[in-house]
A and B are shown apart, each in its own frame.
Chain A
């Protein structure tokens, strides 16, 4: 099976001191049970599951604490037996230390398990069934990214190449190395499950050439299990274990910038993940523990341990006898990509592969950041063939367009550039910051887009409503004209009926029918016009009634003044009042004012004569007013109609 696999190369890369022998000389130990474990509800990339336990519940080892809700969710399991004492926010194992929802279990020390049931005849199960079991076991990528394995498997179709990543290029870390040495058979058994779930055509186990024992162990295990897989030995160079770099090493191909390995028919899984899959399928055990490398010269007893997920870092460091200095760094991960934590009560999670406690002389703090001298060494070592010094200038200037143009998103943050920089510029830090800024900007942009869309939608709606209103008005006006025309036609046809308002009102029904008939002939929207005119006439009748009442009133005033000529003053006053009222009713005219002025000349010698004239004028006005009112009432009724329609 040891057929030679062509090993390609990738540009750049660095050779930092490996320091692997610090921790890989002894077999993986098991630690004493901690007093408490902190199990974060979310330990993977994706959605968190729903809680299944409450404070006070007793749980057994292997019991699911959450259930995956939606796709992308993964459950977490109790790593040992005990009592749930708290479900609250707890400092997370993350560079930010941001608190996340965490289940705290006080262990009872009995380490009692639920009954684990293995999957029967796993190799005869369908891929979907296998993936379901893998999801239920809570398995996430154990290489560091903690991407849900089941999701990765189900997203991949037509896998040509399955790569099992045992490269472990990061200095110091030996978790995968020890696992391969000690559990090669289990890893190979996990690989068979992966092969079965993926129907993979070819399988390569990639290991860096600085792990001869692991290479030997894996080769033997593959041979004795006689499976279709080959071990590829890749030269030691950081970051050859990066997914993109390893694919380039093994195939000579590059993963497209916006794509995934699955687009190329390639799927990569870490050896630790393969081991976890074996445990889940063949033993029925969910993911409850993992190998953690405890290393660095500040630890008196470095080595690898099986740590329960949720074990506080402090518990592990106590067991390894940390001799902390004043500027002690505790790094989760390796020296190139790991992050420091300040609180040792953070738990070990699915992605925690190493805890590194270097002395100050071992990994000294970065010196004074000096000016970039454009030496280009960063560019020589960049595995993604980027221009780190240009990215640095643009990141400093927050020139996001230029950063995008220089492919900042293709930066894998491996740290090779900052490692070689003679000016000790924390380049990766600048890139992370710039990436975060761009992300923020994108979110802001999306928000602004949504706000703009909302505004535009509102504007469009208002415009639509305005148009609808105008359309309605237009139709109403047409209907009104049609009604008017109908009335005129009716009057022509039967003028006697139109002569008095009373008869017109009585014959309204008849008239409207005629009007409708003519309107149908004349108007475009005949049906609408018909109903409009019907309504019209009803209103016209009301208006006419009002007009009649007013006319009566005016007529009474007229007759009163005519009868009582002698009581000129009274009549005059009454006439004035009536005239005023009439004038007000039909919105005062200039003639009205003249009438008022003339009637006020009561002190004159010829007052009597003038009073009579004035009274006569007032009467004439009143009469006129009555006539006008009758006319007005028709138009106002039409106007009111148009407004209410």
Chain B
């Protein structure tokens, strides 16, 4: 009889790409639940719509490229991209916003560059930036957190708002948010905590004055701090299961912590503190789920630390002096651009090449 021929190693750890992506999706669950709890059904609607769009877009484009569809879809990367984009945009944004974002992420950022593993930029963040610069109104209309809402939108109303921009009773998104906020709070306050602080500071208020708004409570912005903590939990799970290494989250959060700590030390009451930076916006989502995207991140441990620290610095700089309230997407894309250089200069020293390194280049 003939025997089966194979190349060593014959043993294989049972953790394939599919499993890795599943784990990341699983780790997103606490964060998504927190978002649903705080921002309503809109989050889930966005998520479902985004995932369907991503799968259809990826299948069609793979067919167009004459590539096998099934194995590519099975790796779950398209679903993860869609999910990351969906949780990043306002829950009541109209359907075409997420639609355009997902199509751009999957087709242009991922497939045009050659599919999974070949993209230079983080697809979800590139999609997000496209949407942010193209549709600034829709992309900044965040719901006030449930704590402040005067009523909860039903699932049906959310669905109607998503597809038609009006509830079953005929209220627009703007009206809904205004009503929800109740009287005494102007429309500006439906901005996110980071947005609010930014506006107040630019108008000459001090930090403590801007923190007087009812949207703050506890450590940072109401609702947002819970979301960030939930994503932190999920991220801790990923590190514990060794799906990701600690290097990127620790370096990113550490740099942000140091930068914001220095900021508050040297500009007391003029710049938001460590608590605001770490628990607002996309900080935890970015540190554990976005910056850790293996495809667009640096590869060596040293490189990962440099890459993540760069993101941390950029996030702080853009949040403080840039034109946008949050900065994770821009920071990640800019750091993506630096990855080849970082990789080049952070090559580990191979075994037995002590002198080779000293004399190299």
Contact = CB atoms under 8 A, between A and B. Distances in A.
Interface of A: 10-11, 14, 16-17, 171, 244, 248, 254-257, 259, 324, 327-331, 333, 335-344, 356, 358, 363-368, 370-376, 379-380, 383-387, 389-390, 406-407, 410, 413, 415-416, 418-424, 426, 428-429, 432
B116 A385 contact: no
Given A371-B115, A372-B117, A363 B11 contact: yes
Contacts of B294: 373-376
B295 interface: yes
A429 B356 CA distance: 27
B73 to A, nearest CB: 12
Contacts of A428: 7-9
A492 to B, nearest CB: 78
Contact of A407 (B11, B16, B350, B354): B350
Contact of A429 (B4, B7, B15, B299): B7
A482 B15 CA distance: 96
Contact of B17 (A259, A422, A426): A422
B349 to A, nearest CB: 6
B299 A387 contact: yes
A255 B353 CA distance: 9
B9 A418 contact: yes
21 contacts: A16-B11, A171-B11, A255-B351, A256-B352, A257-B352, A257-B353, A324-B3, A330-B3, A331-B10, A336-B8, A342-B5, A358-B10, A366-B12, A374-B117, A376-B299, A379-B348, A383-B351, A385-B348, A385-B350, A387-B299, A410-B352
Interface in B182-234: none
B75 interface: yes
Given A257-B356, A389-B299, A375 B20 contact: yes
Contact of B10 (A10, A363, A406, A410): A363
Secondary structure type dominating chain A contacts: loop
Nearest to B353: A257
A73 to B, nearest CB: 29
A344 B1 CA distance: 9
A422 B16 contact: yes
Contacts of B348: 11, 379, 385-387
Contacts of A410: 350-353
Nearest to B303: A376
B13 interface: yes
B152 interface: no
A419 B9 contact: yes
Nearest to B293: A373
B36 to A, nearest CB: 29
Contacts of A390: 299, 343
B297 to A, nearest CB: 8
A330 B6 CA distance: 10
A410 B348 CA distance: 13
A336 B11 CA distance: 6
B66 to A, nearest CB: 16
Interface in B297-311: 297, 299-301, 304
Contacts of B75: 370-371
Nearest to B352: A257
B12 A364 contact: yes
Given A255-B351, A257-B351, 5 more contacts: A329-B5, A358-B10, A366-B6, A373-B294, A385-B350
A385 B351 contact: yes
A507 B298 CA distance: 101
B299 A379 contact: yes
B58 to A, nearest CB: 13
Nearest to B16: A422
8 closest A-B pairs (Cβ-Cβ)?
A415-B9, A375-B294, A371-B117, A257-B352, A335-B11, A384-B351, A429-B7, A407-B350
Residue from B75, B77, B116, B299 having most chain A Cβ neighbours under 10 A: B299
B295 to A, nearest CB: 5
A417 to B, nearest CB: 9
Contacts of A10: 351
Interface string B338-355: 000001000111111111
A317 to B, nearest CB: 11
B354 A256 contact: yes
A82 B40 CA distance: 87
B16 A415 contact: no
A328 B6 CA distance: 11
B71 interface: yes
Nearest to A376: B299
Given A374-B295, A424-B12, A365 B4 contact: yes
A422 B15 contact: yes
B118 interface: yes
A617 B66 CA distance: 100
Contacts of A364: 12
Contacts of B12: 363-364, 366, 418-419, 421, 424
A619 to B, nearest CB: 94
Given A374-B299, A376-B294, A340 B5 contact: yes
B245 A380 contact: yes
A335 B9 contact: yes
Contacts of A256: 352, 354-355
Contacts of B301: 376, 379-380
B9 A244 contact: no
A93 to B, nearest CB: 14
A16 B15 CA distance: 13
Contacts of A337: 8-9
A498 to B, nearest CB: 81
A254 B4 contact: no
A353 to B, nearest CB: 14
Contacts of A330: 3
B135 interface: no
Given A374-B117, A379-B300, A340 B6 contact: yes
Contacts of A379: 299-301, 348
A10 B118 CA distance: 32
B6 A370 contact: no
B2 interface: yes
A130 to B, nearest CB: 31
Contacts of A372: 117
Contacts of A363: 10-12
Given A336-B11, A428-B9, A244 B352 contact: yes
Interface string B1-40: 1111111111111011101100000000000000000000
Interface in B137-191: none
A324 B2 CA distance: 10
A534 to B, nearest CB: 69
Contacts of A327: 4
B349 A385 contact: yes
Contact of A336 (B9, B118, B300): B9
Contacts of B304: 376
A571 B12 CA distance: 116
A152 to B, nearest CB: 19
Contacts of A358: 10
B9 A371 contact: no
A416 B299 CA distance: 17
A117 B190 CA distance: 97
B300 A255 contact: no
Contacts of B16: 367, 370, 422-424
B71 to A, nearest CB: 6
A254 B13 contact: no
A477 to B, nearest CB: 59
B352 A339 contact: no
Nearest to B304: A376
B116 A329 contact: no
A418 B11 CA distance: 9
Nearest to B296: A374
Contacts of B17: 370, 373, 422-423
Contacts of A387: 299-300, 347-348
A70 to B, nearest CB: 30
Nearest to A384: B351
A324 B3 CA distance: 9
Interface in B70-124: 71, 75, 77, 115-118
